[in-house]
């Protein structure tokens, strides 16, 4: 929880705005509610174990509770400069107020996000408040060790792992477990070191150039024949290009299977 939230709660307490002394239904002080929500959100994010944390937590709306139950523990905690941990306020060994924040179990992304939080008094739901927060995520991502120009092919020793805090969604960034997927790819643009690498920045390098001699493998049933040809177009692995037989001048389509190699499936 931020120090500003704590100080705000203390200030309101000093002004006598946290709890009244009578037994009528009373509004939960905004600073105390915000502290409970912030701690509940932090606890839920930590439970998911994906490196998520929250900042700039803001609650919209307010709730009332019956009487002045819990006024002692909340006043004591606020004056001590803290709000009850884990989104739960306890008095005399019993839970007085608790907050449950609904966080998606999957698909959560960094950035400004909205959640619903349920406030419970003695375990009984009293209502919901809307919560806005900046979600951050610490991840081990791949970055370049050196600048790279467009058209350069990435080698494994060009890459390194770096722990970074993401504050916005970055689809397609490469984690450390994808190092082998990046190695061998070609940069589609100039790239700088230290920046999280994204999938759209790379493409497979050309395996065959136009006019290049290629080895042609023909498959016909269980029979395999190897011959030679000339590529009439450039292509990447998996792409189909036109190839010419240098002797007969006959042209045919073949699939690129590797550097300087193509194959043809004959029915």
Does 266 or 117 have the greater pLDDT score? 117
The predicted-structure confidence for 127-147, as pLDDT tens digits, reads as follows: 888 889 999 999 888 999 999
Average pLDDT over residues 55-76: 56
Strands 202-203, 261-265: pairing is: unpaired
Residue pair 73/96 in contact (Cβ under 8 Å)? The answer is: yes
Question: Residue-wise over 199-237: b if at least 16 C-beta within 10 A, else e?
Answer: eebbeebbbbeeeeebebbbeeeeeeeeeebbbeeebee
Confidence of residue 3 (pLDDT cuts 50, 70, 90): very low
Nearest 5 degrees, angle CA 218-CA 223-CA 251?
Answer: 20
Contact 29, 9 (CB under 8 A): yes
The full set of domains in the chain, from first to last, is: 3-136 (no CATH), 140-203 (3.90.1210.10), 213-265 (2.30.30.760)
Q: Residue 48, CB half-sphere, CA atoms under 13 Å: how many?
A: 21
Q: What is the pLDDT of residues 149-186, one digit of tens each?
A: 999 999 999 999 998 888 888 888 888 778 888 899 99
Q: What is the pLDDT of residue 29?
A: 66
Contact between 100 and 89 (Cβ < 8 Å) = no
Residue 200 phi/psi, 5-degree rounding, is -70, -5
**How many Cβ atoms from other residues are within 10 Å of residue 151's Cβ?**
12
Confidence at residue 87, expressed as pLDDT on a 0 to 100 scale: 56
Res 230: pLDDT? 96
Beta strands 261-265; 213-220: pairing state: parallel
Question: What is the structure's pLDDT at 154?
Answer: 94
């Amino acid at each position: 929880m931020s120090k500003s939230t704590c100080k705000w709660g203390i200030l309101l307490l000093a002004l006598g705005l946290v709890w009244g002394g009578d037994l009528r239904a009373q509004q939960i002080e905004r600073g105390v509610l915000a502290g409970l929500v912030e701690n509940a959100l932090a606890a839920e994010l930590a439970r998911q174990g994906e490196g998520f944390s929250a900042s700039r937590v803001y609650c919209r709306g307010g709730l009332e509770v019956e009487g002045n139950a819990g006024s002692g523990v909340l006043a004591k905690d606020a004056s001590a400069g803290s709000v009850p941990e884990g989104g739960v306020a306890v008095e005399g060994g019993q839970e007085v107020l608790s907050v449950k924040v609904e966080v998606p179990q999957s698909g959560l992304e960094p950035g400004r996000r909205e959640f619903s939080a349920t406030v419970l008094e003695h375990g009984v739901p009293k209502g919901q408040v809307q919560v806005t927060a900046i979600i951050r995520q610490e991840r081990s991502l791949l970055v370049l060790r050196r600048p790279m120009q467009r058209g350069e092919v990435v080698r494994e020793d060009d890459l390194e792992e770096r722990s970074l805090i993401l504050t916005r969604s970055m689809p397609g960034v490469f984690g450390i477990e994808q190092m082998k997927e990046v190695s061998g790819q070609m940069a589609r643009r100039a790239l700088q070191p230290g920046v999280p690498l994204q999938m759209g920045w790379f493409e497979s390098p050309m395996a065959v150039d136009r006019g290049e001699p290629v080895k042609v493998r023909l498959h016909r049933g269980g029979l395999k024949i190897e011959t030679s040809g000339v590529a009439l177009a450039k292509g990447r692995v998996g792409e189909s290009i036109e190839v010419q037989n240098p002797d007969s001048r006959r042209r045919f389509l073949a699939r690129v299977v590797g550097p300087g190699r193509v194959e043809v499936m004959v029915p």
